[in-house]
Structure 1
Amino acid sequence: MVGLMSGILLAPSAATAQVSDGGTVRQLDQLSQCRAMTDDKERLACFDRASAAILASRAAGDLMVLDRKAVIARKQSRFGLAVPTSEMFGGGRADEVTDVRQLDSTIKTASAAKAYGRWNLELANGSVWQTVDALTFGPSKGDAITLKEAPLGGYRATIAGGRSILVKRIR
């Protein structure tokens, strides 16, 4: 069961009293300690107590379990927005392993922006980006696009394997 859990978060409430100095939930530590018991009866009683405490915390909203794929999908949907996603789920190792630094998609629609040479690009995931660098020819529907964080801030896009251009997310 523990191997299936991808991430665990604490909501600010009385559960903070159950957080150890290392940031782990004591209830999960207790569950782990139960595994070390050799007497079957004691081990089962320990597991029953620990699992009841975990389920009670989850029911109270103090403990949340998140699927890694759901976390990555959420971060991908927020990629490029002003809200940083690097510490969206509490920071630390859990955020590091779900970090999103690149988004691969396709162009759903491309329309000329009001500024000369700029294009508004709606991607398959629903996000809308605008080219900052002027393009002589507009991108086409269905073109592959890769968006990455730029080294000095901002975002760069590569459309259909072409040169990298500066882009910004509109929505």
Structure 2
Amino acid sequence: MLTLLLIIAAPAQENGNNLLQSLASCRAIADNNERLACYDRVSKAVEEARQRKDIVVLDREQVQKTKRSLFGFSLPSIKLFGDGKDDDSLKQLVGTMRASAAQPGGLIRFTLDDGGVWETTEQSMNRLREGDVVTIKPGSLGSYIATAPGRRAVRVRRLR
């Protein structure tokens, strides 16, 4: 099943919601020629809005990839990627460790295979090795907890 999300940033005179409503209203036209003309007119306006980047179309896979890349960042509470009713929320991030470096104070900074850079916020686990599978889950009060096989859990924060 194909799921699409439209992100609309159109000017008021050509609001993306109005374009979609116009497209939907074409179905109610009884005359075939008028209905086809309506679809042609509105679909052209939708395509022009897409080319101007007034609307953006994302499929479910792109939405999930974007949510994964934003996991761990504090973002405003907006429904940028839909209302979440039909979407599985990202409850944890699992990635393969690509690099790690010791930081002052016994902290560790590490990079996962998705490019995300994380840092421990407390003296922590033994140094991670390249190829270790790291699982990061939300903790209490906006914190995040990282675990790796054979290592104790530690609080982390997302840097980039």
Which residue identity is paired with 2:127? Answer: G
2:104 aligns to what SS in structure 1? coil
Which residue identity is paired with 2:46? Answer: I
Check if 1:127 corresponds to 2:119: no
Identity rate, percent: 33
Q: In the alignment, is the contact (CA less than 8 A) between 1:132 and 1:168 conserved in 2? A: yes
Where does residue 100 of structure 1 map in the other structure? 90
Aligned equivalents of 1:18, 1:74: Cα separation in 2: 27
1:61 aligns to what SS in structure 2? coil
1:70-100 CA distances to partner (integer Å, 9 max, x unpaired)? 2332332232234x175373x6516983753
Aligned equivalents of 1:122, 1:8: Cα separation in 2: 31
Where does residue 44 of structure 1 map in the other structure? 36
The 5 A counterparts of 1:56-135 are 56-82=48-74, 84=75, 86-87=77-78, 89=80, 92-93=82-83, 97=87, 99-116=89-106, 118-135=107-124
Q: In the alignment, is the contact (CA less than 8 A) between 1:78 and 1:85 conserved in 2? A: no
1:137 aligns to what SS in structure 2? coil
Aligned equivalents of 1:86, 1:70: Cα separation in 2: 20
Tell me how many residue pairs correspond in the alignment: 160
1:134 aligns to what SS in structure 2? coil
How big is the shift at 1:155?
Answer: 1.0
Normalised TM-score (structure 2): 0.79
Deviates more, 1:31-40 or 1:49-58: 31-40
Q: Structure 2 regions of 5+ residues with no counterpart?
A: none
In structure 2, the CA distance between the partners of 1:63 and 1:147, relative to structure 1 (3 Å rule), is same
Which residue identity is paired with 1:138? Answer: R
